[in-house]
Structures are given as C-alpha cells and as structure tokens.
C-alpha cells in the first residue's frame, strides 16, 4: 500500500497510507491542503520553501484547522488516479469536508496561497456560525 507524507501543524512529518486513513483526513472538518510535486520540477523546488513558511505561519494563526499533505507524483501514481488530471506541476489543491474547493496550478507566491487559505477558513467559520444561529428550529432573518 502506498504512503505519502502528511505535514501536521506542529511541523512533524507523519506517513499516512492511502485508503481509509486518507479518506478520513479528507472528510474531516479541517481544511486539507495537498501539494503535488516532483523532484525534477524546477517550480516545485521553488515552491517548497514557501510551503514550509505557510506551515510555520499557520501553526501560530490557524492551529488545528489545517492538514498539509505532500504527494510525490512519481512515487504515488496509484494515488493520482483518484484526482482529476493534473495539467502541470506544481499543483496545490484545497479540500473541505471531502470536496475540492480550490486549486492552484503552477508556482504561486506566499501571499497568494495564504490569502486563499484565509478566505477558505473564513468561509468555513461563517457557515458554522450560520448553522449555530439556526439552532432550535428558528433562524434569524437575513440582514
């Protein structure tokens, strides 16, 4: 069974096998960020320190809200069959509640990726707040 690297917010590298474990990660309440890369890809190498900075930055501001996954496309070919075709590298995919919500193709600067993460986390928080406000069978009127 293939494995890939899961980067936790505490910057600890852990391996998770594709299958049941991965589906549980994708369907969790957390934002899941998947970085598809290859060792021969020049832009993937340029993106690597940016991903590391994003993990460190979000460790402080969004702790326990994001799961980071790195997938080597050369080693994990079976894994790739379950995603839409990748049209280039690097690719960063964002998942919430088991569904892809956004995708970057190609090199992206730190602020572009972080802005998307912040936006996705803000949308998630707003949806949770709206659900909470409608408890008891009565929802307040829209503003």
- Which residues are catalytically annotated? 41, 44
E-state strands within the chain: 3-7, 13-17, 31-37, 66-72, 91-96, 99-105
Query: How far, CA to CA in Å, does 59 sit from each of 54, 63, 66?
Result: 8, 5, 9
């Amino acid at each position: 069974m293939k494995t890939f690297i899961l980067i936790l917010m505490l910057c600890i590298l852990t391996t998770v096998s594709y299958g049941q474990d991965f589906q549980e990660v994708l369907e969790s309440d957390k934002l899941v960020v998947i970085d598809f890369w290859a060792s021969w890809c020049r832009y993937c190498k340029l993106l690597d320190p940016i991903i590391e900075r994003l993990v460190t930055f979000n460790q402080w501001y969004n702790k326990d809200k994001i799961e980071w996954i790195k997938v080597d496309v050369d080693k994990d070919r079976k894994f790739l069959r379950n995603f839409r075709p990748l049209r280039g590298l690097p690719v960063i995919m964002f998942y919430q509640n088991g569904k892809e919500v956004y995708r970057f193709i190609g090199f992206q600067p730190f602020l572009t990726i972080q802005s998307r993460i912040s936006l996705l986390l803000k949308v998630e928080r707003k949806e949770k707040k709206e659900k909470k406000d409608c408890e008891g069978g009565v929802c307040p009127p829209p503003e």
